[in-house]
Amino acid sequence: MEIKEIKAIRVLDSRGVPTIKTFVKTENETGSASIPSGTSAGLFEAYELRDTKSKDYFNLDVSKAIKNVNTVINKKLKGKFVLDQEDIDNTLLELDGTDNKSRLGANAILSVSLAVSRAAANELSMPLYQYISRLNNNNNFKDPTPLSNIINGGLHSGSNIAFQEYLIIPKFKEIEDSVKSMSEIYHSLKNIISKEYGPSSTNVGFEGGFVPNFKDVNEENPLILIEKAIKDAGYTRKEIGLGLDCAANSFYNEKEKKYFLNNKNYSSSELLDYYLDLIKKFKIKSIEDPFFEKDKKAWQEFSKKVSSSINVVGDDLLVTNPALIKDAISKKYCNSLLLKVNQIGTLTESLNAFNISKKANWKVIVSHRSGETEDNYISDLAYGINADYVKFGAPSRGERTSKYNRLLEIKEIKS
């Protein structure tokens, strides 16, 4: 069960941008993993190493990260016992030696960390989710609740809508029922949008959600359409919740300390009141990144006002970083973690982020990135740790459906 060789190659993500895929070989098995990438990234995410000075792929190539895996990392980890995940992850951290993984690149490091766990699972002839559950001492399994982004705005689309993601939250116990409702609501939404805004408005954004060409700029419009789609598809609001990822970093003006949406400027407290209105009007159950990541007072104020009635989710605010999560717990900035493995860069640190959050009674959402690959590692992760929610995008586009399909497959393997 020793590592024999580690090799990385270049593949493309769903935006057509290069990313890294790594293979970890033991005597009898191989495990691989490819790494996603964000568009609206938090300021303190672990460092994604790209060839910023090369003209290849318009400065976005990952040849340096690939080289780091194939040389330094391969040399250092050869001969290690593949089941020693924590030791391997710590060795990677030591080898990098920086706070934000900027020497070797978080993309290089994570690709190795995840591929090691896949190779280990294969060595034990175990499904990946089961191996992860063993690593995290978890014996409870339930289907995660999906948050599915069916209208894309913000930096994920060319639309005039500021909020990045309008999410439906099916509240069924079984993932099969959730997937069915998501697909049916998605298609009734497509019909509604086509009738109201024309067929070209049914084109989709980075995460498979629609990008309607709204005539007037109003963040309520997508919510109105989605409520209608839920009804048309034969579901009730009791069965289907609504959520938002505002990704407020992208519409905050740091100089003026104002948020720009609905064609006007909002102060932090005006925006807070606006959210309270939306929550009431549309029975919103989950709001991610409602404020700029450094506008901590507004986060605190908002969390105090809504208490535990809704999930206040930290994404850019927390960047899956255990130290930032601990700080947010003690200062009550939010009550839920958006867990993205590439924000932190190793499996062990991701599990740590999860465990710290659960200990504080937070909810945890395992999330994709806007630049994804067909790799469905995060489905096994979510199931293996018994995450409360998953955020995998719309029920459309292969890099999104591969995650939902893997959850359906896991159910079958398990039964």
Active site residues: 207, 340
Q: Is 40 in the site for ligand 2PG (CB under 6 A)?
A: yes
Angle between helices 398-414 and 377-385 (to 10 degrees): 40
Q: Is 370 in the site for ligand 2PG (CB under 6 A)?
A: yes
Q: Specify the residue, 21 or 156, whose C-beta has the smaller distance to ligand 2PG.
A: 156
**Tokens found for residue 113:** 């960390």
Given 13, 31, 33, 38, the residue binding ligand 2PG (CB under 6 A): 38
If we measure between CA atoms, which residue out of 298, 215, 304 comes closest to residue 257? 298
Q: Is 315 in the site for Mg ion (CB under 5 A)?
A: yes
Sign of the CA dihedral 260, 270, 337, 245?
A: negative
Q: Is 123 in the site for Mg ion (CB under 5 A)?
A: no
SS3 (DSSP) at 396:
coil
Given 315, 349, 388, 399, the residue binding ligand 2PG (CB under 6 A): 315
Residue 199, φ and ψ in degrees, nearest 5: -60, -30
Site for Mg ion, residues 46 to 65, rule: CB under 5 A: none
Compute the distance between CA of residue 64 and CA of residue 61 in angstroms, rounded to an integer.
8
Q: Which stretch binds Mg ion (CB under 5 A): 122-130, 153-161, 191-199, 280-288?
A: 280-288
Cβ-contact 269, 300 below 8 angstroms: no
Query: Residue 363 CB, nearest distance to ligand 2PG (Å)?
Result: 15
Which residue lies nearest ligand 2PG, judged by its C-beta? 38
Compute the distance between CA of residue 125 and CA of residue 145 in angstroms, rounded to an integer.
28
What is the DSSP code (8-state) at residue 70?
I
Query: Residue 237 CB, nearest distance to ligand 2PG (Å)?
Result: 23
Site for ligand 2PG, residues 149 to 178, rule: CB under 6 A: 164-165
Compute the distance between CA of residue 60 and CA of residue 16 in angstroms, rounded to an integer.
11
All residues at 6 or more sequence positions from 295 whose CB lies less than 8 Å from its CB, including other chains: 248, 252, 268
Residues 165-185 as b or e (16 or more Cβ within 10 Å = b)? bbbbbbebeebeebbebbbbb
Query: Residue 101 CB, nearest distance to ligand 2PG (Å)?
Result: 17
**Tokens found for residue 60:** 């976005």
Query: Residue 292 CB, nearest distance to ligand 2PG (Å)?
Result: 13
User: Which partner in Mg ion, ligand 2PG, none is near 39 (CB below 5 to 8 A by kind)?
Assistant: ligand 2PG
User: Which partner in ligand 2PG, Mg ion, none is near 372 (CB below 5 to 8 A by kind)?
Assistant: none
Q: Is 245 in the site for Mg ion (CB under 5 A)?
A: yes
Q: Which stretch binds ligand 2PG (CB under 6 A): 32-40, 56-64, 276-284, 354-362?
A: 32-40
* Residues 57-96: x where in contact with ligand 2PG by CB under 6 A, - otherwise, as a string: ----------------------------------------
Q: Specify the residue, 245 or 380, whose C-beta has the smaller distance to ligand 2PG.
A: 245
Which H or E element spans position 20? strand 18-25
Compute the distance between CA of residue 286 and CA of residue 267 in angstroms, rounded to an integer.
21
Compute the distance between CA of residue 264 and CA of residue 248 in angstroms, rounded to an integer.
14
Site for ligand 2PG, residues 237 to 256, rule: CB under 6 A: 245, 247
Compute the distance between CA of residue 241 and CA of residue 317 in angstroms, rounded to an integer.
24
Which residues are near ligand 2PG by CB under 6 A? 38-41, 164-165, 207, 245, 247, 315, 338, 367-370
Which residues are near Mg ion by CB under 5 A? 245, 288, 315
